[in-house]
Amino acid sequence: MNSTIFSENLKKFRTAKNLTQEQAAQALNINAQTVSRWECGTTLPDVMLLPEIARLYEVTVDDFYRKHSVAYDNYAQRLASVYEKTRDPEDFMRCLLEYRKLMKEGELSLADKWNFAIIHDFMLEYCRDTAMEWYDKTLACDPAEDPDSYRRAASCRAELFFTLGRGEEFIKTQTEKAENDPDNLLEWSLLIEAYISAHDYEKAYEWFRKASVRFPEEWILYMHGGDICEHLGKYDEAFALWDKAGELGTYFWDELYSKSFCYEKLGQYEKALEIRREISENLRANGYDVEAEMNENWMQRIQAKME
């Protein structure tokens, strides 16, 4: 340890926080002479006390040893700079928790608000890259291992392309896949979903009609068809298609959710509630208590609209 740099930093960080030696000593439960000896380099603080000193001065322990260290306005800002450098999710969480403490204590400064935004911006980039990486790893597996998880991963990956502004690219690639592999249900399903995400419902409907002829017993297609028809205002056809999907057997009572949302959209709240009650019964009967509670919270929102 370079005791001169260490001692100089102790004094610099204390004065940057507008603390006297007496105030720092009181906060650390020691006497002012001890603080003075540290800053003069006569003695050094116990290593176990360093985290407490760092928190008081709103720096990290590493800052005490740096030749050129900056005294930040608060500890959260210091952690934000650490995360900006490392982009480590654990550093993000440490920074997030510190900012939440500041929020509970009072108003954030403009710099705090900007820092809070930027760390989430960095984390968003990390999450998008990680999501795409793991979707690709999932789709590199054998779909026979878990067909439903494979399909859902493929669907979520498609949605991510649109989130990233790469929807046209995805549609072009997916059209080629569907045309080159016409017996692959997943490729057709993904293409239909892509057109739905692009809000090109007429094109989505066109591909749905073609797919339903080729794969007449696949519930997922009828779910797509119902969702498309809802967007097109063809409500009778939408409900008929969702019913067809339910008859074939959806994965998680998907048709009930779509029907409930549609009834709610149409202002037919009693019908929406009736279906939501059925969903809750199904969920609880199959051990999905958390999902049932979420559904019942949604029911309360519908009931509030009726009042």
Q: What is the pLDDT of residues 92-140, one digit of tens each?
A: 998 999 899 889 988 789 999 999 999 999 999 999 999 999 999 999 9
Question: What are the E-state strand segments in the chain?
Answer: none
Q: In a 3-state reduction of DSSP, which class is residue 42? A: coil
Q: What is the pLDDT of residues 148-161, one digit of tens each?
A: 999 999 999 999 99
For residue 13, the model assigns a pLDDT of 85
Instruction: Give per-residue burial for 121-153: e unless 16+ CB within 10 Å, then b.
Output: eebeeeeeeeeeeebeebeeeeeeeeeeebbeb
Task: Label residue 95 exposed, middle or buried (CB < 10 Å: 0-12, 13-18, 19+).
Answer: buried
For residue 69, the model assigns a pLDDT of 63
Q: What is the pLDDT of residues 23-45, one digit of tens each?
A: 999 999 999 999 999 999 889 89
Q: In a 3-state reduction of DSSP, which class is residue 69? A: coil
Contact 259, 273 (CB under 8 A): no
Q: What is the pLDDT of residues 198-229, one digit of tens each?
A: 999 999 999 999 999 999 999 999 999 999 99
For residue 68, the model assigns a pLDDT of 66
Q: pTM of the full predicted structure?
A: 0.73
For residue 70, the model assigns a pLDDT of 64
CATH 3.40.50.12780, applies to 1-71: no
Q: What are phi and psi of 47, to 5 degrees?
A: -60, -30
For residue 200, the model assigns a pLDDT of 97
For residue 255, the model assigns a pLDDT of 97
For residue 5, the model assigns a pLDDT of 86
